[in-house]
Amino acid sequence: MKRAIFPGSFDPLTLGHFDIITRGVTLFDEIIVAIGINADKKYMFSLKERKGFIEKAFANEPKVKVMTYEGLTVDFCKEVDAEFILRGLRNPADFEFEKAIAHTNRHLSTIETVFLLTAASTSYIASSIVRDVIRNNGDYTKLVPDSVRVK
């Protein structure tokens, strides 16, 4: 079985994330959307909310699972028997950052990183931008799947 993890904080899930996961399920037998837990980071949405957004968005896709983890991503890959890390690239800056992480992960393990370019229609969307739109009462619904709704 070709299993990949798609790690991130998903605070919140965006249409860019949704696009990468949707396209990723055509490449892998299973994708584990892995929500990393970082005690030092302040999140807008609780872990339960973020997990719920993803589960609801992919409720009809049996190849997508949602899990949480702490620590190194490569250690989590070993724990769940995933051979691949799936990452999306929006721009050249993403590539340089992700390339350094991928090289480090390959140095620490045999895990391969697979990059997908984001769709042109979602390449400008970042969770930080979505959070800013939400904080300022803007229409964030064009940036996120329907499963992401703020009370």
Give residue 134's Cα distance to chain centre.
19
Return the residue matching tokens 């690239």.
89
CA angle 64–66–71, rounded 5-degree value:
130
Are 57 and 17 in contact by the 8 Å Cβ rule? The answer is no
Are 18 and 57 in contact by the 8 Å Cβ rule? The answer is yes
Catalytic hit among 41, 42, 48, 107:
41
Catalytic site includes residue 17:
yes
Catalytic hit among 17, 50, 51, 87:
17
Q: How many residues are present in the chain?
A: 151
Neighbour count for residue 81 (Cβ, 10 Å):
10
Catalytic site includes residue 109:
no
Catalytic site includes residue 131:
no
Catalytic hit among 51, 78, 90, 128:
90
Catalytic hit among 50, 51, 87, 127:
127
Give the active site residues.
17, 41, 90, 127
